[in-house]
């Protein structure tokens, strides 16, 4: 028992130290697996010997039995709110008031810190052990949330080091990171549960759960920004020094906090933090200026519920109300349709906003957005403004639903939206002006028509100069047109013309892949060519016929039939063939290919064959070459520096071969 007690104490101390290094210093010294091993060992000891369990044990973060209700708690030192400043003039006035009260014209030393958009809490440490935690509430009375706060990894259950007061009250802001917020909402969407509007609401809702196990599952964190009551202990006489001391005791402090001299430097800090705001991992809605000297803070005192020695300099509002007047659909370079809200202009995030993204039809349906609604708009930094939610109480009688167009607003081609996808797409890839650059780049790529020298920049230049409008125009380009392009000489122009002419001699699989039909990659293109033999047969095939082909499911079949149903696409194919694109006739074969029932996966670098060469040789003998290992895989061909595919093959018991063994199979000697 004595050994177990000593071991448990050692594990607790080491885990506290690793928590400090991970969450406060951001300098972990052990891998997560080792931390987990130590935690499991401590859990096992405490389960075997319950008397070893302590309040400050790292195992006590998982949450206990649900509370019936929150108890109220009286703050012995009130948790004050801050007065706000929205303009530079108001900040200058704040500084002038301080100088007058302190009877000085010298620069005041301020501590500048981001104003986190979270939930203020207070933590009580007695002899270094966290004993209670509460919300701010109305500043005088809050709710006791100790069990929930214990689940937050960035809150130390025990202070590190020595020299802390017998009783120390620490003030901080609990928040949820932007990444954690998005992941939480994504999980809720998949379960068709209610999502949170913003990270602040998510943090507040998570912290006020009666069941602390729910809180434990939420990605909450804390930054500490000050102290309240202190008993039997001395603290530094400058605010920034207090924060440095809290950090040494294991409490997490925002790394953006700075000490400056003079109000001009405060405003420079405001501008600097404002520029990096969108890239910070957490939400902030302004910055806070605090007089650094604790003596001066006491001399300045308070007004009502706010201190005279601090002020919040707010950023322009990132959320505002406005009216949704209409919706237009924009077509992206890959054919994806994005609904864009046309709004009653509103000033938000420092600019006037009249348009905002609605993301896709699934989001519109989930948020129940209708034309005529009063909506909340959010804009943060350079992020595209978005419609966050609808104020249903203000919905007018004349509001009406937003409908997905059946035809592309750019080219008139059919719009398709599979049931299992959120994005709707235009099917006129070869013709649609919105997609033409990407269509030509794909068409000319190495695995498609392989037009050497026709890179992305040249394609964009050709389209911008209106020398080509679609893929068929490549075959009408002249030497003069190419040579007159910027940085293009006679020789380069001729090389591209030769490559374009050479590309006319191709194969049906390459041609089908070059068309850019959604979900039709190299392998699918080869399967289609082998089964239908001619382009005309494929164009005439319906969904039922396509699904009779191995590896062609209903989704791919739908994409293929819709593509060929568009008159623009069929016309483009006819033009390409008229310009001389041709391929060998695929003859019917009465004999099965030797590897027709085998599936291969290639991983790593082979000594003499490139992956592409190996793939072509295998497919020529009827084998199927895929990118992922499954139970259906016959062989995994492993070269130098193989990836995770090798490990998966070994776990599944799939036979792994090298290049020598591959050559034997190709030569029919296996």
In terms of Cβ atoms closer than 10 Å to its own Cβ (0-12, 13-18, 19+), residue 466 is exposed
From 53, 115, 526, 593, the catalytic residue: 115
* Residue that the structure tokens 């996966």 belong to: 601
- Rounded to 10 degrees, what is the CA torsion of 427, 430, 433, 439? 110
In terms of Cβ atoms closer than 10 Å to its own Cβ (0-12, 13-18, 19+), residue 56 is middle
Known catalytic residue at 276:
no
Take residue 92 and report the two structure tokens written for it. Answer: 């200058």
Measure the N-to-C terminal CA separation of the chain; round to a whole number of Å: 64
Question: Which SS3 state, helix, strand or coil, does residue 82 take?
Answer: coil
Q: How far apart are CA 9 and CA 3, in angstroms?
A: 10
Task: Please state the three-class secondary structure of 456-509 as a single string.
Answer: HHHHHHHHHCCCCCCHHHHHHCCHHHHHCCCCCCHHHHHHHHHHHHHCCECCHH
In terms of Cβ atoms closer than 10 Å to its own Cβ (0-12, 13-18, 19+), residue 578 is exposed
In terms of Cβ atoms closer than 10 Å to its own Cβ (0-12, 13-18, 19+), residue 423 is middle
Q: How far is CA 426 from the centre of its chain?
A: 25
Take residue 645 and report the two structure tokens written for it. Answer: 């595919």
Take residue 338 and report the two structure tokens written for it. Answer: 């994005």
Q: Give the Cα-Cα-Cα angle 378, 381, 385 (nearest 5 degrees).
A: 35
Phi, psi values for residue 643, rounded to 5°: -90, -155
Residue 340 is given by DSSP the state E
* Residue that the structure tokens 């390459």 belong to: 510
Question: Which SS3 state, helix, strand or coil, does residue 354 take?
Answer: strand
Q: How far is CA 107 from the centre of its chain?
A: 43
Q: How far apart are CA 329 and CA 340, in angstroms?
A: 6
Q: Give the Cα-Cα-Cα angle 554, 560, 562 (nearest 5 degrees).
A: 100
Phi, psi values for residue 511, rounded to 5°: -65, -45
Query: CA nearest 379: which of 277, 288, 271, 280?
Result: 277
DSSP letter for each residue of 88-109: HHHHHHHHHHHHHHTT--SPPE
Query: CA nearest 362: which of 449, 288, 420, 433?
Result: 420
Determine if residue 376 is left, alpha or beta; phi over 0 gives left, psi from -120 to 50 gives alpha, anything else beta. Answer: beta
Take residue 340 and report the two structure tokens written for it. Answer: 């864009």
Determine if residue 111 is left, alpha or beta; phi over 0 gives left, psi from -120 to 50 gives alpha, anything else beta. Answer: beta
Going by their DSSP bridges, the two strands 655-657 and 635-638 should be labelled as parallel
Residue 34 is given by DSSP the state H
Query: CA nearest 432: which of 416, 447, 446?
Result: 416
Q: How far apart are CA 442 and CA 547, in angstroms?
A: 26
Residue 435 makes CB contacts below 8 A (sequence gap 6+) with 331, 332, 333, 334, 335, 426, 428, 429
The residues with which 289 forms a beta bridge, in sequence order, are 112, 311
Catalytic residues: 115
């Amino acid at each position: 028992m004595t050994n177990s007690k000593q071991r448990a104490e050692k594990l607790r101390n080491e885990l506290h130290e690793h928590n400090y290094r991970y969450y406060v210093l951001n300098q972990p010294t052990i891998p997560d697996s080792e931390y987990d091993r130590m935690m499991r060992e401590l859990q096992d000891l405490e389960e075997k010997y319950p008397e070893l369990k302590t309040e400050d044990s790292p195992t006590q973060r998982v949450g206990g039995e649900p509370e019936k209700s929150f108890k109220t708690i009286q703050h012995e030192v009130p948790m004050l709110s801050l007065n706000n400043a929205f303009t530079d003039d108001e900040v200058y006035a704040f500084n002038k008031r301080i100088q007058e009260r302190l009877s000085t014209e010298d620069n005041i030393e301020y501590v500048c810190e981001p104003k986190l958009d979270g939930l203020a809490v207070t933590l009580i440490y007695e002899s270094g052990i966290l004993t209670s935690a509460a919300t701010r509430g109305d500043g005088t009375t809050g709710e006791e949330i100790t069990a929930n706060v214990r689940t937050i990894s960035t809150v130390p259950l025990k202070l590190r080091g020595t020299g802390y007061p017998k009783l120390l009250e620490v003030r901080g802001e609990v928040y949820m990171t932007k990444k954690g917020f998005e992941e939480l909402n994504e999980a809720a969407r998949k379960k068709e549960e209610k999502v949170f509007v913003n990270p602040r609401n998510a943090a507040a809702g998570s912290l006020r759960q009666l069941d602390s196990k729910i809180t434990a599952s939420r990605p909450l964190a804390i930054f500490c920004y000050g102290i309240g009551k202190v008993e039997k202990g001395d603290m530094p006489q400058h605010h920034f020094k207090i924060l440095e001391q809290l950090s040494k005791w294991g409490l997490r402090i925002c790394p953006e906090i700075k000490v400056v001299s003079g109000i001009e430097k405060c405003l420079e800090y405001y501008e600097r933090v404002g520029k990096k705001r969108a890239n910070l991992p957490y939400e902030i809605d302004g910055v806070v200026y605090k007089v650094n000297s604790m003596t001066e803070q006491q001399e300045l005192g308070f007004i009502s519920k706010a201190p005279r020695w601090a002020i919040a300099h707010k950023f322009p509002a990132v959320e505002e109300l406005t009216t949704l007047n209409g919706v237009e659909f924009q077509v992206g370079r890959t054919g994806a349709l994005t609904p864009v809200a046309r709004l009653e202009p509103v000033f938000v995030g420092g600019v006037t906003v009249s348009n905002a993204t609605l993301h896709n039809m699934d989001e519109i349906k989930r948020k129940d957005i209708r034309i005529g609604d009063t909506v909340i708009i959010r804009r943060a930094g350079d992020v595209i403004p978005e419609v966050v939610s609808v104020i249903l109480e203000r919905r007018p009688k004349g509001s009406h639903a937003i409908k997905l167009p059946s035809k592309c607003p750019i080219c008139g081609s059919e719009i398709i939206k599979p049931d299992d996808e959120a994005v709707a797409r235009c099917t006129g890839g070869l013709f649609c002006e919105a997609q033409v650059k990407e269509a030509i780049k794909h068409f000319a790529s190495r695995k498609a028509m392989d037009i050497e020298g026709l890179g992305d920049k040249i394609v964009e230049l050709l389209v911008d100069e209106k020398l080509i409008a679609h893929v068929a125009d490549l075959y009408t380009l002249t030497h003069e047109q190419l040579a007159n392009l910027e940085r293009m000489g006679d020789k380069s122009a001729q090389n591209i013309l030769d490559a374009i002419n050479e590309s006319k001699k191709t194969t049906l699989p390459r041609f089908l892949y070059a068309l850019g039909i959604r979900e039709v990659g190299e392998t699918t293109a080869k399967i289609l060519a082998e089964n239908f033999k001619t382009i005309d047969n494929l164009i005439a095939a319906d969904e039922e016929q396509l699904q009779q082909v191995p590896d062609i499911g209903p989704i791919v079949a739908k994409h293929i039939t819709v593509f060929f149903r568009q008159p623009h696409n069929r016309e483009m194919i006819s033009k390409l063939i008229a310009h001389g694109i041709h391929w060998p006739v695929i003859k019917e074969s009465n004999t099965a290919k030797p590897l027709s029932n085998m599936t291969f996966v290639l991983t790593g670098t082979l000594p003499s064959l490139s992956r592409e060469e190996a793939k072509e040789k295998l497919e020529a003998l009827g084998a199927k070459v895929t990118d992922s290992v499954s139970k259906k895989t016959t062989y995994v061909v492993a070269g130098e520096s193989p990836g995770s595919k090798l490990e998966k093959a070994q776990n599944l018991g799939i036979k792994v071969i090298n290049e020598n063994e591959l050559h034997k199979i190709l030569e029919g000697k296996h």
